[in-house]
Amino acid sequence: MATSRAGGRVLGYLESKKNLAGSACGVAGLGLTLAGVAGAYWPLVVAGLYGAGALIAPPERVAPPHHPDPAEQLGVVREDFGRLRAYLAEVELPAAAAGKLAELLEFYEALLDPGWVAEVLAADPESVHTVSRAVRQDVPECVDTYNRTRWWARLSPGGESPEQQLERQLAALFEEAERVTATLREAEALRQQTHTTYLEDRGRS
């Protein structure tokens, strides 16, 4: 493996701008040698010109790592939401929790549905992160821990029931989704207000 990496580095240098520029200058040195200018010191002249060419060549640009923008992330979250729905379709939940979960999923679906609302969501990375975390982590964890805890509760009943815990969790997620919506609504209201101010100022000028 180390040999292959070393071979890759050598090949990369051979194809680099530094080597190409140095080689071009080295060829020029050979030309001077054939013309009789370099004399007995032609190896030094060729090597010196190669080194000079390699030094003045611009460095290779290493592409920075690519991170998906919020719009790309939203497309992936939309796919994850589809998988979440398929998972939840196979899970049996108490009626009250199932109703709250259905409302929550409608909320997420409305935000993620392709269109101008999703475009507004994509413009707010923090809101994208919140929805993404809920779809990928929070909702599946709520349902999975409910099913696991319910089994243990049958063996040792007492305390707050798993059903009550699940309802509290879903209520907290619903409040979080409402806060996301409020944030996006405020951003749109600010955008409208800014445009109004711009038009009024333009009219005065």
- Please give the pLDDT value at position 67: 65
> What pLDDT sits at residue 31?
65
Is pLDDT of 166 > 90? Answer: yes
- Residue 21 to residues 24, 25, 41, 57, 59: CA-CA distances in angstroms? 5, 6, 21, 6, 11
Q: Residue 71 has what pLDDT?
A: 73
Give me the pLDDT at residue 74, please: 86
- CA 201/CA 197 separation, integer angstroms: 6
**Residue that the structure tokens 């060729």 belong to:** 46
Return the percentage of the chain with pLDDT > 90, whole number: 46
For residues 144 and 150, is the Cβ–Cβ distance under 8 A? Answer: no
Q: What is the mean pLDDT of residues 47-71?
A: 66
What does the pLDDT average to over 180-194? 93
Sign of CA dihedral 138, 142, 143, 147: positive
What is the C-alpha to C-alpha distance for residues 164 and 110, in angstroms, rounded to an integer? 27
Q: Say which residue, 167 or 53, is predicted with more confidence.
A: 167
- Per the model's pLDDT, the better-predicted residue between 204 and 43 turns out to be 204
Report which of 89, 81, 149 is spatially closest to residue 121, judged by C-alpha positions: 81
Band of pLDDT at residue 12, cut at 50, 70 and 90 = low
Q: What is the mean pLDDT of the chain?
A: 80
The Cα 75–Cα 71 span in angstroms is 7
